Amino acid sequence: MPQDVHTYFQNKARENDALFQVEIDVTNQCNANCPFCFQGDHRTCADGELSLQQMIQLLDELREMGTFYIGFSGGEPFARKDFLEILREAKKRHFRVSLITNAMLLTKEKIDALADMNIDHINVSFHSVVLETYLKCFGIQEKNCYYKALENIQYMLQKNLSVGIAITVTKYNVEDIPATTKFFTDLGVKERDFGYNLLAKGRREINDLVPSKEQIAKNNAILTKSVDPQREESLICTAGTISCSIDAYGNVYPCTFFNTPAGNIHETPFQNIWKQSHLFKLIRSFQDSMFEKCSSCEIKKYCHICLVSNMNETGNVFKPSDIYCISRKARYGSCAQ
């Protein structure tokens, strides 16, 4: 096999319009209120969410389609009472399963259940080790949530679960990144399992929260650590070509940041949406060379063209925003030198 197996299959999926990975939001309910959340204002009601039975049907369809990887998210996935049941059904079908959570609603019993069912990876959003910053990032006041999340991360590590720390980088927490990274590294989180996510616009304005160029430059050494020099051949992100996102109401998007769905599984069978929707077909027709600014950029080997950031920030799918380019260059610029 010419490349490593995983890359070979990813590339093969791109050539065949095959759905390699899916994100499923199991609920829109959330116990936090992050000021930057791309989901917009959090909802507290479960009305209209896919039932457990509908989730199981979707998992069966994904298995039929050959999907390898499912990432569960929300809202806060553990705000949904039957989330463990959904995970169990996904593992029963032998998907690679990961989830992202704020870990505040977890208990020892739930973590034991995650370990028993062999969940492959758990990402915990923990935006700062500094208590005040943490609360500000999550838009909450209860200090107890911070301690609860920490206790749960420690217990997950003790249970030998694969734990990642997701830090969404804003002007509030960017200065704390070295301390937060050191704290969790000392607890046993592996270097490769830190994710520093730069802000993207969804249903919320984020301009006021984006860190300054100077702030990012100061923390460049840490941020670039998460840069993976191995990449697929295409410069364009995977959204709509080998991956998609399904929200709690059955809307199907190229990725979770998109505001307009390609279809809804209550109205159209999922496989038809994936294969035939105009939005997905349109995305699959894009070539790297159509993105004039990106195809000649010095960091193109490290950066991805993020279709949704282009759409949401400039209104032109082929044009990245200045904020996008500045923050990516601050982050990846040193790799290109």
Partner 1 sequence: MLNKEIVFGSVAGETMILNTKTGTYYTLNQQGTGIWNLYYKGKTIREIKQYYADLYPESAEAIDQDVDSFFAELKENHIITE
Ligand X SMILES: C[S@@+](CC[C@H](N)C(=O)[O-])C[C@H]1O[C@@H](n2cnc3c(N)ncnc32)[C@H](O)[C@@H]1O
Residues that bind partner 1 (CB under 8 A): 1, 4-6, 9, 12-13, 15-16, 18, 20, 66-69, 94-97, 118, 120
List, in sequence order, every beta strand (DSSP E) within 1-120.
Answer: 21-25, 69-73, 96-101
> Which residue, 149 or 265, is less far from ligand X as judged by CB?
149
Residues 22, 145, 199, 330: which binds ligand X (CB under 6 A)?
199
How far is CA 89 from each of CA 79, 92, 111, 117, 185, rounded to the nearest angstrom? 18, 5, 17, 10, 32
Residues 27, 101, 219, 310: which binds ligand X (CB under 6 A)?
101
Position 206 contacts ligand X (CB under 6 A): yes
Quote the tokens at residue 84: 């463990």
Residues 282-311 that bind ligand X (CB under 6 A): none
Cβ neighbors of 25 (< 8 A, separation 6 or more) are 72, 73, 74, 75, 77, 245, 246, 247, 248, 256
Residues 97, 100, 156, 246: which binds ligand X (CB under 6 A)?
100
Binding part of the chain for ligand X, among 198-206, 210-218, 240-248, 325-333 by CB under 6 A, reads: 198-206
- Residues facing residue 236 across a β-bridge: 305
Binding-site size for ligand X (CB under 6 A) equals 20
Position 166 contacts ligand X (CB under 6 A): yes
Residues 21, 125, 251, 309: which binds ligand X (CB under 6 A)?
125
Position 200 contacts ligand X (CB under 6 A): yes
CB of 1 to ligand X, least distance (A): 33
Residues 19, 20, 22, 36: which binds ligand X (CB under 6 A)?
36
Reported as type and span, the H/E element at residue 52 is helix 52-65
CB of 129 to ligand X, least distance (A): 15
12 binds, among ligand X, partner 1, none (CB under 5 to 8 A by kind): partner 1
For the chain, the distance separating the N- and C-terminal CA atoms, rounded to the nearest angstrom, is 31
Alpha-carbon distance of 81 to 54, in angstroms, equals 15
101 binds, among ligand X, partner 1, none (CB under 5 to 8 A by kind): ligand X
Alpha-carbon distance of 57 to 70, in angstroms, equals 14
Report how many helices (DSSP H) and strands (DSSP E) the chain contains, helices first: 14, 9
Cβ atoms 76, 29 nearer than 8 A = yes
> What one-letter code names the amino acid at 185?
T
16 binds, among partner 1, ligand X, none (CB under 5 to 8 A by kind): partner 1
> Which residue, 267 or 322, is less far from ligand X as judged by CB?
322
Position 250 contacts ligand X (CB under 6 A): no
Cβ neighbors of 39 (< 8 A, separation 6 or more) are 28, 30, 75, 202, 203
The footprint of ligand X (CB under 6 A) covers 30, 34, 36-39, 73-74, 76, 100-102, 125, 166, 168, 197, 199-200, 202, 206
